Amino acid sequence: MDAVTNVPVPVNEPGRGYAPGSGERAALEARIKELAGAQTELTMAIGGEHRMGAGTPVDVVEPHNHGHVLGRMGEATEPDVAEAIAAAREAAPAWRAMAFEDRAAIFLRAADLLAGPWRSTVNAATILGQSKSVQQAEIDAACELIDFWRFNVRYAQQIHEQQPLSPPGVWNRLEYRPLEGFVLAITPFNFTAIAGNLPTAPALMGNVVVWKPSPTQQLAAHHTMRLLEAAGLPPGVINMVTGNGGAVSAAALRHPDLAGLHFTGSAATFQNLWRAVGENISAYRGYPRIVGETGGKDFVVAHPSADPAVLKTALVRGAFEYQGQKCSAASRAYIPRSVWDGMRDEFCAEAESLTMGNVAEDLSAFMGAVIDDRAFAKHRRAIERARGIDSMTILTGGELDDSRGYFVRPTVLESADPTDEIFTTEYFGPILGVHVYDDGDYDTVLRQMESVSEYALTGAIIADDRAAVAAATETLRFAAGNFYINDKPTGSIVGQQPFGGARASGTNDKAGSIFNLTRWTSARSIKETFVPPTDHRYPHMGP
Ligand SMILES: NC(=O)c1ccc[n+]([C@@H]2O[C@H](COP(=O)([O-])OP(=O)(O)OC[C@H]3O[C@@H](n4cnc5c(N)ncnc54)[C@H](O)[C@@H]3O)[C@@H](O)[C@H]2O)c1
Ligand SMILES: N[C@@H](CCC=O)C(=O)O
C-alpha cells in the first residue's frame, strides 16, 4: 500500500496582469510571435514516442485569422489508437507500483514548471489556437491548470488517509488501487486547464491513460503534453492521440480493458459515447467508470432589489468573456421591468463597446473570435432565426464577419416568450437571451425558468433582499450545480467552487475535487488477523 506523507498545502496560483509595458507582457508577446511562426508538427505521444497520426492531415489555424496555419496534425487511425492502448498497458505495472509520493511529485513539478518557465508557452498557445484574450488565457491555461495539479495531489492524499477501524488483534486497511485497464480522456476545445486535468487526474491515482484532445485545442494540448514529459512523466502513462475521435471511439470504446471514460464536451457527444459503452458492456473486463461534464444554458435571475451595476457587470462578464464559449457562460437572463428600464441602455452600450479582434496581436482586446466555422455557422443561424421572429428584439449585436476570423459581436436578444429556444438551447457563443418580467412575478418566473432548459450547470441570483435570495436558492436547488449569489455564473476556482452540473449537464463529479478523484480508484479492503482462530465452533454450540 502507498505510504502517505504530508504533501504541500496548495494555494491558488495568483493571476498575472500583463499591463502594457510590463516584462511579463513582453515575454508573452515574444513567445506568441515564435509559436505563430513555428508551424508546429502536432505529433501524437505514444509510449514516449512522437509521431504524426497516420490518417488524414488536419490544419490547426488561428480562429481570429483563419488563413494562418499554426500547425498540422494527422487524424489518428484505429491502429494508432490500438498502439496507444498497448503502450498504456505496458506502462501500467511500473506506474501503479510507483509510490504515491513519486507520482505526486511529477504533477507538483509540472505545476511549478507551468507557473514558471512554461507559462508563456502554454498561454501563447491558448491565445493563438483558441482565441483567448490574455486575461482569459491566464486564468485558464496558467492558473486553473496549476491549481488542478496542486490541489489534486492534496485531495489524493486525503483519499489515502481514509482508512477503516482496526479492533485489537486485527489490522484493516484500504488499498487505493487504480482501475484495472486504461482510462480514456476526451477533452473539449474551450479550456486548456480541463484538457490538462482530464488525463492527469486519473494518472495521479495510478491509472494509465489514452488522451484525445479536441483538434481546435491541439496546439495548447501539444505543449501541455511536452510539459508533462519535462516534469518526468514516464513514457506510456499518458498517451496522446490526435484528431476528431472517430478512430478513438472505434478502437478504445470497444476494447475489453476500457476501465473509465473521463469526458468534457457537449451533451450530444457524451450521450453517443455512453451509448457505445452501454452497447459493449458485456465485452469489458469490468464496468467502466463514466464521468462526463457537458453543456449548459446558464442563467442570471435578478430580483427587483438587485443592484443594477452588479447585474450589468455579471451579465457583461458572464455572457461575453471568451466569446460566451464557457460551459458556465450566462446565456439567459430574467430581469424585472423596474431594474431593466433603468439599466438597459447602459448595459447595451457597454456590450457594444467591448473590443474584439486579433487577440494575439492586440493584447488589450476583451474578446477574440469564436472557435471555428461550425460554431460561426451555428451563431449565424441563431441570429437569423431571431431576426425572423416578430416578438424578438435584437437590442445590440447581431453582426457577424468571417472574412478574416470567426467574429460574432456580443448579441442581446429580448423576448417576451420565456419558452423560446433562446432560453433553452446552448448556442455556446456570445448570445444572451433576456426575458423581462413584471416585478410582482418573481416567484412565477423562478418556477418557470427552473426547468425550461434540460441543463443544470451554473446560475446566479442578483438581489439585495435576503428573502429573495433564499427563495431562489430553494426553488433553483436542482437547476444548477454551481450557484452564485450576487456574482457572475462563470469563473469557478479550484479548491473554492468545485465545478460541475447535473441533469443534461453531466455526472456532476466536480472537477478538481476529491469527488472526481474517487472515481479513478477501486479500493481493496485488506483484513489481517494476527492470531487467527483454529477451531470452527462458537460458544452457543456448547462443548
Ligand atoms: N461542464 C463542463 O465542465 C464543461 C466544460 C467545458 C466545456 N463543456 C461543454 O463542451 C462543449 C464545447 O466543447 P466541444 O465543442 O469541444 O465539444 P464536443 O462535444 O464537440 O467535443 C468534445 C470532444 O469530443 C470529441 N469527439 C466528438 N465526437 C467524438 C466521437 N464520436 N468519438 C470520440 N471523440 C469525439 C471532440 O473531438 C472533442 O475532443 C459545450 O457543450 C460546453 O458546454 C462543458
Ligand atoms: N470552470 C469554468 C468553466 C469551464 C467550462 O467551460 C468556469 O467556472 O467558468
| Residues 424-450: tens digit of each pLDDT | 999 999 999 999 999 999 999 999 999
H helix or E strand, kind and range, residue 312: helix 308-320
Residue 13 in this model has a pLDDT that exceeds 60: yes
Which of 194, 487, 516 to mutate to test ligand 2, by most ligand atoms within 8 A of the CB atom? 194
Q: What is the pTM of this model?
A: 0.98
On whether both 314 and 289 belong to a single domain, the answer is no
The model's pLDDT over 341-398, given as tens digits with 9 standing for 90+, comes to: 999 999 999 999 999 999 999 999 999 999 999 999 999 999 999 999 999 999 999 9
On whether both 285 and 339 belong to a single domain, the answer is no
* Cβ(136) – ligand 1 distance below 6 Å: no
**Which of 71, 80, 379 is CA-nearest to residue 212?**
80
In a domain? residue 473: yes
On whether both 201 and 289 belong to a single domain, the answer is yes
This model of the complex carries an ipTM of: 0.98
> Among the atoms of ligand 2, which is closest to the Cα of residue 144?
1
Q: Is 143 a catalytic residue?
A: no
**In this structure, which ligand is nearest to the CA of 265?**
1
> Among the atoms of ligand 1, which is closest to the Cα of residue 272?
31
Which of 328, 371, 493 to mutate to test ligand 2, by most ligand atoms within 8 A of the CB atom? 328
* Cβ(512) – ligand 1 distance below 6 Å: no
Own/partner pairs for 279-286, CB < 8 Å, 24+ apart? Answer: 280/253, 280/254, 283/254, 283/256, 284/181, 284/256, 284/257, 284/258, 285/180, 285/181, 285/256, 285/257, 285/259, 286/179, 286/180, 286/181, 286/259
Range of the domain at 288: 40-294+506-526
* Cβ(293) – ligand 1 distance below 6 Å: yes
The percent of residues in the chain predicted with pLDDT above 90, rounded, is 99
Instruction: pLDDT band for 3, please (50, 70, 90 cuts).
Output: low
Instruction: Give me the pLDDT at residue 6, please.
Output: 87
The model's pLDDT over 302-340, given as tens digits with 9 standing for 90+, comes to: 999 999 999 999 999 999 999 999 999 999 999 999 999
What CATH number should be reported for the domain holding residue 411? 3.40.309.10
Residue 5 in this model has a pLDDT that exceeds 90: no
Mean residue pLDDT across the chain: 98
On whether both 154 and 281 belong to a single domain, the answer is yes
On whether both 351 and 365 belong to a single domain, the answer is yes
In a domain? residue 83: yes
What is the Å distance from ligand 1's center to 525 Cα? 36
- Tell me the C-alpha distance between 71 and 61, whole Å: 7
Q: Where are the alpha helices (DSSP H) in 408-531?
A: 442-450, 466-475, 514-518
Instruction: Give me the pLDDT at residue 240, please.
Output: 98
On whether both 289 and 313 belong to a single domain, the answer is no
Domains contained in the chain, number: 2
On whether both 281 and 309 belong to a single domain, the answer is no
- Residue in 75, 144, 293, 414 annotated catalytic: 293
Q: Is 327 a catalytic residue?
A: yes
Q: What's the whole-number mean pLDDT along residues 46-70?
A: 98
Instruction: pLDDT band for 1, please (50, 70, 90 cuts).
Output: very low
